[in-house]
Structure 1
């Protein structure tokens, strides 16, 4: 089966979506399928992947506030690419122009809208959280939900990347046909990667000794990730206990965050780590992952941390809360730095050996990306078969 994923969220310097798609290409190739990602780029270009699949960039304008990403704008170019590739199934995940480009395409392949994110939570609710309740914001932006409903009705299936997003969208009255929880590359992440010497070295970089609590924050430096809240929580907790925070990431907020932590003795920002083995060693050698985004649709980073044997400190709603193991996590009231600091304190007060055992046990239950890919392909094969049968039935009539 050839799948074409029309994906505005893919960037060679991106985070979770890039990781997911790069791995998915190889997995589908092993299963005998082909995944081609159509992504916006500064020029028309094709990148073949050694394990199978490829990225085809269509020349598109860049986002003015983040030059790493682009916007599909040319419907004719998109239509021509789909006609040329002749897919068995088309995925789309952007609710803007690409949603309509794919819906308008005249090909016979099933169309699937794959929900990777929630713009209502990531933007509208965050923008107005200090002036209105979440419910009022939902009502004020009901036009956006209605807009989504209009293009979703033209798709053969609507799929989310996990239960958190499914619940949120169903509550707004949107049609969801299936939830396909993502998985992570279990071969890289493992508690066995823990390196006590590396842990001591990282704590020393933060000005702390081996008795310190080494927290890791990972993700793009974007407002929806709420890194200022995480920094505030670490500083509050650090006033009464030895807490260090490493933030791995980059983005538009990086200069502001660098200024914010300039006077913090135990908090440092680091560039993203793209080498998977090195990243796995870093993750397994920390003491906990801390996350601030309650609007996270699926806790991919949280799952990687759990597979590494790391406890979680996360908001009590959203994708990270959905995957968190209750024996190896401390959840807190979303958008509340004091509550996050209290969660850090609760984790610090727990018996380290017992917490470690609970986290290692939880690591064995983390869903793999192979499981996700196999389940998704079974679902897609059913859609293709149903579409073909409907076509044959129409001809017989």
Structure 2
């Protein structure tokens, strides 16, 4: 099967979408599929990859995030689609890229992959002090109408987690195929724990080797709530010695740096692109502290789990769906004091059972090969009906069952 992903937010310096698509290329090759990505960038060029490659289409830079570009002219994208003649076209965002796919005249099957919940990322965070999430959903009914209108141009909608599939179905986008994401399990392991690395990280935080090492990893974006994570960890460190290492960069760097300024036990380091080095950092810490409540799945928390790391994070979104009670603590989203209390609760546990539970949780993290196999199976069910309208097929339900 030949798949083309029109990926509006794919960038060499991006976050989870970049990680996901890079791995998608590798697994597609393993499973015998061709995969091509069409993405906006600074110039027109082709970049070969396993199983296919990336067609970069020259486009203007996104005004509010220099990591990304935005599709403008549909013609170059349609030209690539015509030349590639795919079996299935995936739109991996609900914005301009999805409309470019919707208006292409080719006969391929089409699927919209929802990598995020825009209402949870933005309005529900901005307006949290004014109204409940349900009320904010009501205020943004116009956006849900927009998504329903867009959905009508696609044969299928996919969400990378069951909780998100159910949420979209509640707003009339159904049926939505809930196909949980996964991680490259071979790249992350508790056996990568490095005590020397742990000591160096604690030293960078000005903490002794017997202090607790907390790790926070991800793009510096407002949805990640890193200033809150920093404040909560510093608050907890007034009770027990904790050093916090924050790994990342992005458009919210000024607020993150202000939050860390004057906190000697907080150390900021740039994004770690070397996957084995990132895996060693995750395996060598004592806790991952997370703040984002709007993730589809939570790739970084899943990688931390696979590394045997206990977790502290919010009670909404992909994190809450992923975390195991025996090796994690949950706090009400956005509540700094509650997050600090959750960190202290985790470290108040008996270390031996906590370590054992974290190691057990590591073995239960979903492999990304299973995700992609399920995704490609779902796409295969859409291909023949697209070529022959007399064939009909049901879309998998949010529970993940496939016909």
Scaled to the shorter chain, the TM-score interval is over 0.9
Partner of residue 399, structure 2: none
Instruction: Check conservation: 1:62, 1:70, Cα contact below 8 A.
Output: yes
Shift of 1:323: 1.0
Instruction: Check conservation: 1:234, 1:341, Cα contact below 8 A.
Output: yes
Partner of residue 197, structure 2: 198
Deviating beyond 4 angstroms after TM superposition, the runs of 4 or more aligned structure 1 residues are none
Q: In the alignment, is residue 59 of structure 1 matched against residue 58 of structure 2?
A: yes
Alpha-carbon separation, structure 2, partners of 1:289 and 1:358: 15
Shift of 1:389: 3.9
Instruction: Check conservation: 2:169, 2:176, Cα contact below 8 A.
Output: no
Partner of residue 31, structure 1: 31
Partner of residue 141, structure 2: 142
Alpha-carbon separation, structure 2, partners of 1:256 and 1:362: 33
Question: Where does 1:281-360 land on structure 2 (aligned, <5 Å)?
Answer: 281-360=280-359
Alpha-carbon separation, structure 2, partners of 1:336 and 1:293: 12
Instruction: Check conservation: 1:189, 1:307, Cα contact below 8 A.
Output: yes
Alpha-carbon separation, structure 1, partners of 2:295 and 2:182: 15
Alpha-carbon separation, structure 1, partners of 2:217 and 2:174: 32
Deviations 1:120-163 (A, max 9, x none): 01111112222333222211110000011001011000110111
Deviations 1:289-309 (A, max 9, x none): 111011112111111000000
Instruction: Check conservation: 1:83, 1:107, Cα contact below 8 A.
Output: yes
Equivalent residue pairs, number = 392
Shift of 1:392: 7.5
Q: In the alignment, is residue 80 of structure 1 matched against residue 82 of structure 2?
A: no
Question: Where does 1:229-248 land on structure 2 (aligned, <5 Å)?
Answer: 229-248=228-247
**Runs of 5+ in structure 1 lacking a partner?**
none
Partner of residue 223, structure 2: 224
Describe the SS at the equivalent of 1:63. coil
Deviations 1:26-64 (A, max 9, x none): 110111111111111011111112x33211111111111
Instruction: Check conservation: 1:159, 1:176, Cα contact below 8 A.
Output: no
Instruction: Check conservation: 1:160, 1:176, Cα contact below 8 A.
Output: no
Describe the SS at the equivalent of 1:159. strand
Alpha-carbon separation, structure 2, partners of 1:137 and 1:162: 22
Alpha-carbon separation, structure 2, partners of 1:338 and 1:172: 32
Shift of 1:268: 1.2
Alpha-carbon separation, structure 1, partners of 2:341 and 2:191: 29
Describe the SS at the equivalent of 2:5. strand
Partner of residue 173, structure 2: 174
Alpha-carbon separation, structure 1, partners of 2:212 and 2:162: 31
Alpha-carbon separation, structure 1, partners of 2:8 and 2:391: 34
Instruction: Check conservation: 2:168, 2:176, Cα contact below 8 A.
Output: no
Question: Where does 1:372-391 land on structure 2 (aligned, <5 Å)?
Answer: 372-390=371-389
Deviations 1:84-123 (A, max 9, x none): 1111100002222222211111111100000100110111
Q: In the alignment, is residue 14 of structure 1 matched against residue 10 of structure 2?
A: no
Q: In the alignment, is residue 103 of structure 1 matched against residue 102 of structure 2?
A: yes
Describe the SS at the equivalent of 2:180. coil
Deviations 1:304-326 (A, max 9, x none): 00000011101011101111112
Partner of residue 43, structure 1: 43
Normalised TM-score (structure 1):
0.96
Deviations 1:219-270 (A, max 9, x none): 1100000011101101110111111111110001112311221200111111
Deviations 1:333-353 (A, max 9, x none): 111011100000001111222
